[in-house]
Amino acid sequence: MSETGFGFELPPHLVTLRDTVEDFVRDEIVPAERSIPPEARGMPSDLIARLQDKARAIGLWCLDAPEEYGGGGLSSLEFVIAAEAGSKHRFCFPQPGGGAFGHPPPIVLYSGTAEQIERYVVPSIRNGWYGFTAIAEATGGSDPARAIRTTAARDGDSYVINGTKMWITHADYARYGVVYARTENGISAFVVDAGTPGMEVVRSLPVLRDHWPTEVRFDNCRIPAGNLIGAEGKGLELAGKWLQRARLLYAARAVGIAEESLRIAADWARERETFGAALATRQAIQFAVAESRIDVNAARWLVWEAAWKHDRDEDIRLQATIAKAGAVDAASRTVDRMIQIMGAMGLSRELPLEAWYRDLRTAKILEGSSEMLRIFIARAELGPAASARNPKQT
């Protein structure tokens, strides 16, 4: 499916897509989450499998993966609308639906060889395999060109990988991963099968959010030369494509969380009474709700603009950066206000607000920290003057 343009109202097919995803979340995923203990950090695999069967049955499977490989084939605009609708539940990080809608492979694999696509992309979509992406290291994540210390040395028909990756999502149960390493010609991307000798998931890394990343070590890990994705030295170029899509997803998910938190708290304010009057009559509550509605609507348009331009094959590095920074900040403010409106109930694990609060705080660091995003935006706006030591010399 594709969408070449839209106005201030969604066309019928996008309304249907949004409503179908929202209905599935409300009728299937939210009850499933409520059935597990409040201290759980995620849904168990058997519960996710049952949800996946139901999602497949109604066509909600790997929605953004190309149709030719068995996915839903959604355009970027369609995808962000579905992602927003699919994020209105507790365990929507790191994926809307908590895995119920499948696990599309790392996007850089679509640039792989026919053999790589047949070996990894097609079965990932068909079987719901997890894959991981390993860029960040202990030396940093926002500047991979300098921070990456992991190496991949060519040795005949193989590459030998050595180094350690940090903060890697899904590596503890993935079938394979895309690993970025320094080669003779620069940073390159490789696909590495789980269980390859020399690759070890060392530990889980306890963090603020419920979903914990991992540390992955490579000790003389030998892989076939055919596992190189694209050309040597082109890894960061491939990673840029992944990053744009990842930022769109983060932004759309943030909008969905903000919208749902506003709904939850607004319903509470209508029913809750203090000192003989509904909470909704209090000006402080009204202002918090109004500010949040402004934030949510503005963030949504940032996301839609970036996605729309992506569908037009425009360079969206700036738009995706603005959308991610703006939407995550707007959602963080909104969830914080809604917790304040609901008081102690807002802090309770009986509701998803406290989990979203932690997820959004984490989102200000992942896929580009808020500061790095603002530096990029400012440089795009100011041009060479932003980097010059003496502006008069520019």
Q: What is the pLDDT of residues 295-335, one digit of tens each?
A: 999 999 999 999 999 999 999 999 999 999 999 999 999 99
Residue at token pair 């190309």: 66
Q: Quote the mean pLDDT of the chain.
A: 94
Place 6 in a pLDDT band, splitting at 50, 70 and 90. low
Residue 393 predicted with pLDDT over 80? no
Compute the distance between CA of residue 36 and CA of residue 187 in angstroms, rounded to an integer: 43
Which of the residue ranges 63-77, 132-146, 228-242, 348-362 would you say has the lowest mean pLDDT? Answer: 132-146
Whether residue 314 contacts residue 303, with contact meaning beta carbons closer than 8 Å, is answered with no
Q: What are phi and psi of 186, to 5 degrees?
A: 120, -165
Average pLDDT (73-93) is 96
Is 0.85 surpassed by the pTM of this model? yes
Predicted confidence at residue 143, as pLDDT, reads: 78
Compute the distance between CA of residue 99 and CA of residue 52 in angstroms, rounded to an integer: 8
Average pLDDT (358-384) is 94
Q: Do the strands 151-155 and 228-229 form a parallel or antiparallel pair, or are they unpaired? A: unpaired
Residue 344 predicted with pLDDT over 80? yes
Domain with CATH 1.20.140.10 in the chain: 236-383
Compute the distance between CA of residue 183 and CA of residue 213 in angstroms, rounded to an integer: 26
Average pLDDT (262-279) is 95
Which residues are within 8 A (CB) of 288 and not within 5 positions of it... i.e. 6 or more apart? 337, 338, 340, 341
Compute the distance between CA of residue 121 and CA of residue 104 in angstroms, rounded to an integer: 8
Predicted confidence at residue 28, as pLDDT, reads: 98
Q: What is the largest CA-CA distance in the chain?
A: 80
Compute the distance between CA of residue 205 and CA of residue 355 in angstroms, rounded to an integer: 18
Catalytic residue among 3, 367, 371, 381: 367
3-state helix, strand, coil in the chain (%, to 5): 55, 15, 30
Of 3 and 5, which is predicted with more confidence?
5
SS3 175: coil
SS3 108: helix
| Structure tokens, 212 | 């914990």
Q: Among the CATH numbers 1.10.260.40, 2.60.40.10, 3.40.50.720, 1.20.140.10, which is that of 236-383?
A: 1.20.140.10
Give CA separation, 40 vs 37, 193, 357, in Å.
6, 29, 16
Compute the distance between CA of residue 179 and CA of residue 150 in angstroms, rounded to an integer: 9
Average pLDDT (211-226) is 97
Q: Rounded to the nearest 5 degrees, what angle is found at the Cα of 213, between the Cα atoms of 93 and 253? A: 15
Residue 287 predicted with pLDDT over 90? yes
| Structure tokens, 227 | 């596992």
User: If 0-12 CB within 10 Å is exposed, 13-18 middle and 19+ buried, where does residue 193 land?
Assistant: middle
Predicted confidence at residue 146, as pLDDT, reads: 86
Amino acid found at 123: P
- CATH architecture label of 131-229: Beta Barrel (2.40)
Predicted confidence at residue 389, as pLDDT, reads: 66
Q: What is the CATH number of domain 12-103?
A: 1.10.540.10
Residue 40 predicted with pLDDT over 70? yes
Predicted confidence at residue 218, as pLDDT, reads: 98
Domain with CATH 1.10.540.10 in the chain: 12-103
pLDDT above 90 coverage of the chain, percent: 88
Give CA separation, 51 vs 46, 99, 127, 134, 349, in Å.
9, 9, 14, 28, 22
Compute the distance between CA of residue 15 and CA of residue 344 in angstroms, rounded to an integer: 35
**Polymer length in residues for the chain:** 394
Predicted confidence at residue 1, as pLDDT, reads: 38
pLDDT above 70 coverage of the chain, percent: 97
Place 91 in a pLDDT band, splitting at 50, 70 and 90. very high
Compute the distance between CA of residue 205 and CA of residue 38 in angstroms, rounded to an integer: 21
Whether 367 is catalytic: yes
Residue at token pair 């299937």: 28
Whether residue 80 contacts residue 248, with contact meaning beta carbons closer than 8 Å, is answered with yes
Average pLDDT (380-392) is 80
| Structure tokens, 33 | 């989450």
Predicted confidence at residue 240, as pLDDT, reads: 85
Predicted confidence at residue 2, as pLDDT, reads: 42
